[in-house]
Amino acid sequence: MSTSSASSPPSKPTADGYYDFHDEDDVRHLHALGYKSEFKRDMSPWANFSLGFTYLSPVVGVYTLFAYALATGGPPMIWSFLIVGVGQLLVALIFSEIVAQFPVAGGVYPWARRLWGRRYAWMTGWVYMVALLVTIASVVYGAGPYVAATFGFEATVNNTIVFALILLAVATAINFMGTKVLATAAIIGFTAEIVGALAVGGWLLIAHREHNLGILFDRFGAGGDGNYLWAFAAAALIGVYQYYGFEACGDVAEEVPDPGRLIPKAMRRTIYVGGAAATFVCLALVLAVTDIPAVIAGEDTDPVSTVLTEAFGSGGSKAVLAVVLISFLSCAMSLQAAASRLAYSYGRDEMIMGSSLLKKFSASRHVPPYALLVAAVVPAVIVVGSKFSTDAITKIISFAAFGIYLGFQMVVLAALRARLKGWVPSGKYSLGKWGLPINIAALIYGVTAMVNMVWPRTPDAPWYDNWIVALSAAVVVGIGLLYMAVHPLHDRSTAPYSDAIPMGKP
């Protein structure tokens, strides 16, 4: 399929510091793909990168999983950041080729639609949509205890629910204000998070370092007497759960000028900068933990709070927690933006019940209001549900990260299939002869990571808890298949599909 014509020469730089390419090129490209966008291209390259970074949110990821990873695998767990970073970079490179040719709002769903077809795209989007909505709930719920600690409240279930709903409401309000406000908020969130990460990490390394770098090769007895590989694989989930913000850069493709050139750059920067920041934060925390054996033995179950209190005192640690809260808010905001664009994309293509509402657009704010409401109401219901069963909410949330990986790998598989059927990426970014081997490597990495995520690690628990991630994925896919059979709107959608594959090779 042909892509846009060559870009027009850049005009004068805008106030954001980037060159404002003539909108006509982007309009023509999108029109050639079968769409007329209602979004405003108000998102600068810097803001697009910031959106991906805050979705990835190294502070949220590290602070949430640090205790588990250190207790499970000891200090060597930090090497998982390097391994996973390389693997996810391969995925980001494949996504870069796809978004450069198909810069359409919604991310994985429209990409799978163009690379494979309507039914496959429906399932890809369904899996990813559920994962995003659950992830939004998990992020705002996970922020509850930090809100309580910051403002001196007890972290009860009721308080956690209230704080989570407040955070969700603020994120929703920011998204409703339009692309320009979202872009500004993303930049503020990125700045606060990166400055906070550097400041906290730097201070810990300079003034509160308890160990030298040699401990990064010392497991301190983690994993017991068995094969350490299994302990490391379990602890490596801190890295696996970290690197998937880059896709959000492509979800807002219709809000970025010259997306075929700028979004691939933003995706790669998200991996580089986000991964480096996460690794730095984790390194600083590991070297600052006074009693690592106590963490591994389960005697210190919250080493992050212990380190922050020791290093900054009660007052200083609250200032750090304030930065952490900004990170949680920015992460929720970016996730909502991604989920709403995906829901809008579904609605625009008339792919799901309620499409007439999902595709509606606010003429004043240039956002899809009902799609945004879905990205707010469903997570809110999940959060409120914790009042009745925290265990049930934990089981629901267990699908979040796996669902994101599954959605990603469905696109990677679709790209490999299309490539083998003759697809030659023709956007402004291409891997050339490296496309096929990188595609294969990205798929191998993704499948390996998913196997690691579903692998049962609690032999003493009931079988359904031991296999909860795999079971939750099976339930989500099963519900999706049932819906497709009962309400097959996807087969009636007339929007373009399967056009990446050359004619005559269905």
Cα radius of gyration (the chain): 22
C-beta of residue 92 within 8 angstroms of C-beta of residue 411: no
Strand spans (E) along 337-452:
none
Q: What does the alpha-carbon distance between residue 446 and residue 441 come to, in Å, rounded to a whole number?
A: 9
- The set of residues, in sequence order, having a beta carbon less than 8 Å from that of 171 and lying 6+ positions away, is 140, 329, 332, 333, 336, 376
- Centre a 10 Å sphere on the Cβ of residue 14 and count the other Cβ atoms it contains: 11
Reading the block at residue 78, the tokens are 């930090």
Q: Which amino acid is at 63?
A: Y
Q: What does the alpha-carbon distance between residue 428 and residue 313 come to, in Å, rounded to a whole number?
A: 51
- The per-residue pLDDT string of the chain (506 residues; one tens digit each, 9 = 90 and over) reads 333 333 333 444 444 444 444 478 888 999 999 998 889 899 999 999 999 999 888 888 888 889 999 999 999 999 999 999 999 999 999 999 999 999 999 999 999 999 999 999 999 999 999 999 999 999 999 888 888 888 888 888 889 999 999 999 999 999 999 999 999 999 999 999 899 889 999 999 999 999 999 999 999 999 888 889 999 999 998 998 888 889 999 999 999 999 999 999 999 999 999 999 999 999 999 999 999 999 999 998 889 888 988 888 877 877 888 888 888 999 999 999 999 999 999 999 999 889 999 999 998 888 999 999 999 999 999 999 888 776 666 677 778 889 999 999 999 999 999 999 999 999 999 999 999 999 999 999 999 999 999 998 888 888 888 898 999 999 999 999 999 999 888 888 889 999 999 875 54
- How much is the pTM? 0.91
- DSSP symbols for 25-73: HHHHHHHHTT----S-----HHHHHHHHHHHH-HHHHHHHHHHHHHHHH
Q: What does the alpha-carbon distance between residue 115 and residue 273 come to, in Å, rounded to a whole number?
A: 29
pLDDT at 390: 67
Predicted confidence (pLDDT) per residue in 42-85, tens digit: 999 999 999 999 988 888 888 888 999 999 999 999 999 999 99
Q: What does the alpha-carbon distance between residue 416 and residue 88 come to, in Å, rounded to a whole number?
A: 16
Q: Which of 393, 469, 476, 384 is nearest to 130 (CA)?
A: 476
Predicted confidence (pLDDT) per residue in 232-259, tens digit: 999 998 998 888 889 999 999 999 999 9
pLDDT at 392: 65
C-beta of residue 111 within 8 angstroms of C-beta of residue 259: no
Walk me through the domains of the chain, giving residue ranges and CATH numbers: 41-492 (1.20.1740.10)
pLDDT at 85: 95
